[in-house]
Amino acid sequence: MIIPCIDLMGGKVVQLVQGREKALEGGSPLEMLERFAAFPQIQVIDLDAAMGRGSNDDLVELLASRAVARIGGGVRSPERARLLIEQGAHRVIVGTAAFDRSLLKEIADAVNPERLIIALDSKSGKVVVKGWQESTAFTAEQVIRQLEPYCSGFLCTYVDKEGMMQGTDLDWFRRLRAATKHELTAAGGITTQEEIGELRKLEIHAALGMAIYTGKLSLETLAQL
């Protein structure tokens, strides 16, 4: 499955390079929803909430009510996760909070592990948290199996190539696929149909951002894959 991404910052749809530098702005959230209407799901990330500098709650709620959406960014309490589900989120993505095991259990209990996706974002080989601003001491491969009871899938972003249009690291995704039978979604640098094809062979979904916002990959072509 191909999942277009809507990343929100300051009330706008944006694309960042490696989670830091804003590279471009998209259309309004509703314009982007219309552009992505041919796809079964979208992914919505509130970047301000992820970085702890505000939120885009109204836009998140609007998108959750109008599309089958997996939503993340700043989900650090069971109350927040439950609210997103009540607002219409199909599934909730948890990143930083996943590494506080008692908190993760509370969140999973609040919404049911079937509705939870854990973000395992990797930079320079290590999992990064707090909007990719803080590095941990472990790799995604080391922790993925321990986290399986709390979720139904993992969103794995190869941050080193995020937004750079230079391709992704398929070997990393192969290692992750070997480490878990849970659903996997790949993100970060996916630029070509060939990469999407390789991920599909591994039964890994592809979350796409920069490649579709720049027109490198055609939405019309992707919708037919």
Using the predicted structure, report yes or no on whether residue 173 has a pLDDT greater than 70.
Answer: yes
Using the predicted structure, report yes or no on whether residue 75 has a pLDDT greater than 90.
Answer: yes
One-letter amino acid of 21:
E
Residue labelled with tokens 């979904």: 205
Residues 6+ apart with CB under 8 A from 21: none
Using the predicted structure, report yes or no on whether residue 216 has a pLDDT greater than 80.
Answer: yes
Apex CA 3: angle with CA 179 and CA 104, to 5°? 50
Give the mean model confidence (pLDDT) for residues 143-154: 97
pLDDT of residue 163: 67
Confidence of residue 149 (pLDDT cuts 50, 70, 90): very high
Using the predicted structure, report yes or no on whether residue 214 has a pLDDT greater than 70.
Answer: yes
pLDDT of residue 164: 65
If one counts every other C-beta atom within 10 angstroms of the C-beta of residue 79, the result is: 12
Give the mean model confidence (pLDDT) for residues 182-209: 96
> Two tokens at 10?
């300051």
Confidence of residue 162 (pLDDT cuts 50, 70, 90): confident
pLDDT of residue 132: 79
d(CA 70, CA 93) in angstroms, rounded, equals: 7
Indicate which residue of 7, 48, 58, 169 is catalytic.
7
The 3-state DSSP class for residue 13 equals: strand
Any catalytic annotation for residue 58? no
Confidence of residue 134 (pLDDT cuts 50, 70, 90): confident
Using the predicted structure, report yes or no on whether residue 18 has a pLDDT greater than 90.
Answer: no
Please tell me the class of the 2-224 domain.
alpha beta
> Two tokens at 65?
């009510």
Domain residue spans in the chain? 2-224
d(CA 219, CA 217) in angstroms, rounded, equals: 6
d(CA 128, CA 26) in angstroms, rounded, equals: 26
Indicate which residue of 46, 48, 58, 121 is catalytic.
121
Give pLDDT tens digits for 23-73.
888 889 999 999 999 999 999 999 999 888 999 999 999 999 999 999 999
Percent of the chain clearing pLDDT 70 (strictly above) = 99
Determine contact, residues 121/85, Cβ cutoff 8 Å.
no
Cα 184 to the chain's mean position, in Å?
11
Give the mean model confidence (pLDDT) for residues 122-144: 90
Any catalytic annotation for residue 171? no
Cα 63 to the chain's mean position, in Å?
15
Give the mean model confidence (pLDDT) for residues 158-175: 86
